[in-house]
Chains A and B, each alone.
Chain A
Amino acid sequence: MAVRIEVPDGVIESARAQWEAASIDLDLAWRSLHKVSAIGLSAEAGAGLVAFREAWVDRLKAAHRRAESHHDALDLTDDDFTVTDMGQAHLLRGLLPWAYHAAALRVVA
């Protein structure tokens, strides 16, 4: 069975970075919302605000985790590609003349 990966150079890294940014922004968002204070509101208005706040803190936290999991997955994939490419490079280097067996392997983006 043939496997074909159609990912242009840099795409995984770019997607990973974007999901990471989303994850960080949403992490900050839910924490900021959690800190929104009901000070200066009456007991009734404050209770209304707290109910609203907690409902959306949970959902923003869930969105943050979702972005974070995508970031982690792409991070892993990126690593897998690097490891796979490194393994292939080792094999290739073994096929080269002896003088090149110690040639340095460099990871390029």
Chain B
Amino acid sequence: MTATLPAPLTPLPELESRADDVGRLVTEIRRLASDVAAVQATAEVRSADAAGWAGDAGEAADHEATRFSRALAAPEAALFSAAGAAEVFELALTTLQGERDDLEWERTGLNQDISETAARIAASGLALGDVLSGNAMVAAALRQRVGDAMRRMVAWVQRVEEAEATFIRALAMVDTTEEASRAVADVKAQEAAGQQVRDVVDDLIAAGVVPAVVRGMNAARLRDYLTAHPEVARRIVANRPRPDADGLEGLLAAGMGSAAVGKLFASMRESDARVLAQLYPDEIGNRSGAPFTYRAEANRVRILDQIERIDAQDADEFSQRRAEIRRTYQSLLDRDGDVVVFDPSNGAIAEVHGRLDAGTKNVGVVVPGTFADPTNFGDLAARSESFARAQADGSLATVSWMGGEFPPDLVAAGSSRYADDLGPRLADFSRDLRQELDLAGASDAHTTYVGHSYGGAVVGTAELSGLDADRVLHLESAGMGKGVDDPGDLPESQWQVRRFSMTAPGDLIGSFQGVPWAHGADPDEFDGTTHLDTGRYADGSKVSGYASHSRVFDPGSDPWKQTFEVMTGGTVRTHIPVLPLGPGGPPPPSGRPPVGGELIDLP
């Protein structure tokens, strides 16, 4: 057996375009656009103001002012469009720079590990391929890590190229009069919306919610500012929009439907919408219809606020639990994930792992079970993220969905009360997710809802509320959901959902599945459900017993692989029932017993 250590990773290229310089461009071009807009507006007024100048000369003057005003609409639109494109580019560059820093940090650590491992092997005098030395396993693990890091580095380079291409394309789309003229209506609407956001900033400054220094900040700068000044984030979250206010503030105070919310954000430039999301985070963070990007931007401010609140409490009151929650919140900020649901009042958090974009083919939503709460959200996130990371081309995104209060103990887990509350919330979220995929140009993406333990009952109850899913996986599930005893109990919207179940032998949950008063039918015996095999762990031992309840998420184990295959529409292995041994039963198989059944390819 031969084994090799991976070669050290080479540094990522520096970003050639710099966010600061692009920010300068935004300011310059927007100022120019405003100057041209002022000339255009004056000419427009003049054409309407030719009263008093009668006859042919007056008419000619009127017509020329109108023509001139219209002619200036095209450069005005082109310049505002260019400023908007540059602003989006600036935001992308800021994000990419942060990602580069993280990747470089990871690369440096990896290279150090490679070099230390090489030195250790040299000192031991044992060959790298010597199985007994364990070096081969270390080398394999390093190669795996290097492979993962390289994939992320390649993806980063692609994102840089995409950001540049988007910027160049946006400029080219308005570089002729005809193109710019077509864009006039949209640009004017976007500019009006941008002005409304600037008005919101002015109003908040006047009200003392944010300091004057915030005026003119773009979304990236505002984000940095609030991170450095959480006390301002706290004032922002405490501030409520006034229902009687004009403009965006009044709109946000009113209970808009998801379609109206979607329309509002569609009329805005991304940069303006991101600023608005940060200024009214409570109104946007969980709002159906708001694109996930803006919900995440809003929730970042709400998390800053929560951390600030915890830090402001007396040390005496600073409980262990609060410290753990603070750690969870801090880790959400540190990994800069997209938190698309956040509600500290009931512990709700949902985080997206990976990217929802035109390249997304599958999304897996993982719903946890009993004991899930903000103190252990990191465990759920690690589990969900492991699936997204495993798909090298980035076409699988996952969501850690903990959308409210879960049973805190096993006694409470017997009650369907929590599922009754969480199910409809999950169904609502599934529709938000579908809208997000449509917006991202990934309408054909398949969604899988994985309900683990009590989460299975939540997913089942969500199906009663019309969960928008292509696939459902009951993983060590408590049941199909209260009231779901056979397929006829499910609404017509769910008839096309493909269902799977997986329960390890010896998991105690098996004793509670199908108990009539609890969480509906046993998923493993539910008509139309494909019962999957749990197989073995990566070390070859069988997945069974009490510990298997949580260890089905061990990366590399068969149940983990099966879950991944369900999420990605791959190949799964069905369960075969364990037949009784002894008289009437089959003879015990020789060697390693069979642990799986038929392999089936999912559509």
Residues of A within 8 A of B (CB): 4-8, 11, 15, 18, 21-22, 25-26, 28-29, 32-33, 36, 39-45, 47-49, 51-52, 55-56, 59-60, 63, 66-67, 70
Let me know if A41 and B22 touch, CB within 8 A: yes
Given contacts A6-B54, A40-B20, A43-B16, whether A59 and B175 have CB atoms under 8 Å apart is no
The complex places the Cα of A33 from the Cα of B35 at a distance, in Å, of 11
Given contacts A32-B32, A33-B32, whether A40 and B18 have CB atoms under 8 Å apart is yes
Let me know if A44 and B28 touch, CB within 8 A: no
Let me know if A41 and B17 touch, CB within 8 A: yes
- Does B58 sit within 8 A of A, measured CB to CB? yes
Residues of B within 8 A of A (CB): 16-18, 20-22, 24-25, 28-29, 32, 35-36, 38-39, 42-43, 46, 52-55, 57-58, 61, 64, 68, 71-72, 74-75, 78-79, 82, 89, 164, 167-168, 171-172, 174-177
Let me know if B53 and A11 touch, CB within 8 A: yes
Given contacts A40-B18, A63-B68, whether A45 and B167 have CB atoms under 8 Å apart is yes
A-B pairs, top 3 by smallest CB distance, nearest first, are A40-B21, A42-B16, A48-B168
Let me know if A22 and B175 touch, CB within 8 A: no
Given contacts A36-B29, A51-B172, whether A25 and B39 have CB atoms under 8 Å apart is yes
Instruction: List 18 interface pairs A-B (beta carbons < 8 Å), by A numbering.
Output: A6-B53, A6-B55, A18-B42, A18-B46, A21-B39, A28-B35, A33-B79, A36-B25, A40-B17, A40-B18, A40-B22, A44-B168, A45-B89, A48-B167, A49-B25, A49-B171, A52-B171, A59-B75
Closest-by-CB residue of B relative to A15 is: B61
Closest-by-CB residue of B relative to A36 is: B28
Distance in Å: Cβ of B159 to nearest Cβ of chain A: 14
Apart from the given pairs A18-B46, A51-B172, 5 other A-B contacts in the complex at a CB distance below 8 Å? A8-B53, A39-B21, A48-B168, A63-B72, A67-B68
What residues of chain B lie closer than 8 Å to A15, measured between beta carbons? Answer: 46, 53, 61
The complex places the Cα of A43 from the Cα of B161 at a distance, in Å, of 12
Q: For the complex, would chain B's binding face be called helix, strand, loop or mixed by DSSP majority?
A: helix
Distance in Å: Cβ of B275 to nearest Cβ of chain A: 23
The complex places the Cα of A6 from the Cα of B54 at a distance, in Å, of 6
The complex places the Cα of A48 from the Cα of B55 at a distance, in Å, of 48
Let me know if B32 and A29 touch, CB within 8 A: yes
Contact partner of A7 among B57, B64, B167, B177, CB < 8 A?
A: B57
Closest-by-CB residue of B relative to A40 is: B21
Let me know if B42 and A45 touch, CB within 8 A: no
Let me know if B16 and A22 touch, CB within 8 A: no
Closest-by-CB residue of A relative to B176 is: A55
Let me know if B61 and A25 touch, CB within 8 A: no
What residues of chain A lie closer than 8 Å to B89, measured between beta carbons? Answer: 45
Distance in Å: Cβ of A15 to nearest Cβ of chain B: 6
Distance in Å: Cβ of A14 to nearest Cβ of chain B: 9
What residues of chain A lie closer than 8 Å to B55, measured between beta carbons? Answer: 4-6
Given contacts A42-B16, A42-B17, A59-B177, whether A51 and B79 have CB atoms under 8 Å apart is no
Most B CB contacts (10 A, CB to CB) among A4, A7, A40 go to A40
Let me know if B79 and A56 touch, CB within 8 A: yes
What residues of chain B lie closer than 8 Å to A51, measured between beta carbons? Answer: 171-172, 175
Let me know if B24 and A40 touch, CB within 8 A: yes
Let me know if B36 and A29 touch, CB within 8 A: yes
Contact partner of A26 among B22, B39, B54, B57, CB < 8 A?
A: B39
The complex places the Cα of A7 from the Cα of B61 at a distance, in Å, of 11
Let me know if B172 and A52 touch, CB within 8 A: yes
What residues of chain A lie closer than 8 Å to B61, measured between beta carbons? Answer: 15
Distance in Å: Cβ of B217 to nearest Cβ of chain A: 19
What residues of chain A lie closer than 8 Å to B71, measured between beta carbons? Answer: 63, 66
The complex places the Cα of A7 from the Cα of B55 at a distance, in Å, of 9
Distance in Å: Cβ of A46 to nearest Cβ of chain B: 8
The complex places the Cα of A40 from the Cα of B54 at a distance, in Å, of 54
The complex places the Cα of A95 from the Cα of B177 at a distance, in Å, of 59
Let me know if A7 and B53 touch, CB within 8 A: yes
What residues of chain B lie closer than 8 Å to A36, measured between beta carbons? Answer: 25, 28-29, 32
What residues of chain B lie closer than 8 Å to A29, measured between beta carbons? Answer: 32, 35-36, 39
The complex places the Cα of A63 from the Cα of B76 at a distance, in Å, of 12
Let me know if A22 and B17 touch, CB within 8 A: no
The complex places the Cα of A59 from the Cα of B77 at a distance, in Å, of 13
Distance in Å: Cβ of B220 to nearest Cβ of chain A: 15
Let me know if A6 and B177 touch, CB within 8 A: no
Let me know if A60 and B168 touch, CB within 8 A: no
What residues of chain A lie closer than 8 Å to B64, measured between beta carbons? Answer: 70
What residues of chain A lie closer than 8 Å to B53, measured between beta carbons? Answer: 6-8, 11, 15
Distance in Å: Cβ of B276 to nearest Cβ of chain A: 27
What residues of chain B lie closer than 8 Å to A5, measured between beta carbons? Answer: 55, 57
Let me know if A56 and B75 touch, CB within 8 A: yes
Let me know if B175 and A63 touch, CB within 8 A: no
Contact partner of A11 among B52, B78, B167, B174, CB < 8 A?
A: B52
Distance in Å: Cβ of A104 to nearest Cβ of chain B: 31
Closest-by-CB residue of A relative to B53 is: A11
Closest-by-CB residue of A relative to B81 is: A52
What residues of chain A lie closer than 8 Å to B174, measured between beta carbons? Answer: 52
Contact partner of B42 among A21, A41, A56, CB < 8 A?
A: A21
What residues of chain A lie closer than 8 Å to B79, measured between beta carbons? Answer: 33, 56
What residues of chain B lie closer than 8 Å to A49, measured between beta carbons? Answer: 25, 171
The complex places the Cα of A24 from the Cα of B71 at a distance, in Å, of 17
Distance in Å: Cβ of B357 to nearest Cβ of chain A: 21
Let me know if B172 and A60 touch, CB within 8 A: no
What residues of chain A lie closer than 8 Å to B175, measured between beta carbons? Answer: 51-52, 55-56
The complex places the Cα of A74 from the Cα of B374 at a distance, in Å, of 74
The complex places the Cα of A60 from the Cα of B168 at a distance, in Å, of 21
Contact partner of B171 among A8, A39, A48, CB < 8 A?
A: A48
The complex places the Cα of A74 from the Cα of B321 at a distance, in Å, of 79
The complex places the Cα of A46 from the Cα of B108 at a distance, in Å, of 31
What residues of chain A lie closer than 8 Å to B54, measured between beta carbons? Answer: 6
Most B CB contacts (10 A, CB to CB) among A5, A15, A41 go to A41
What residues of chain A lie closer than 8 Å to B35, measured between beta carbons? Answer: 25, 28-29, 32
Let me know if A25 and B172 touch, CB within 8 A: no
Let me know if B29 and A66 touch, CB within 8 A: no
Let me know if A6 and B58 touch, CB within 8 A: yes
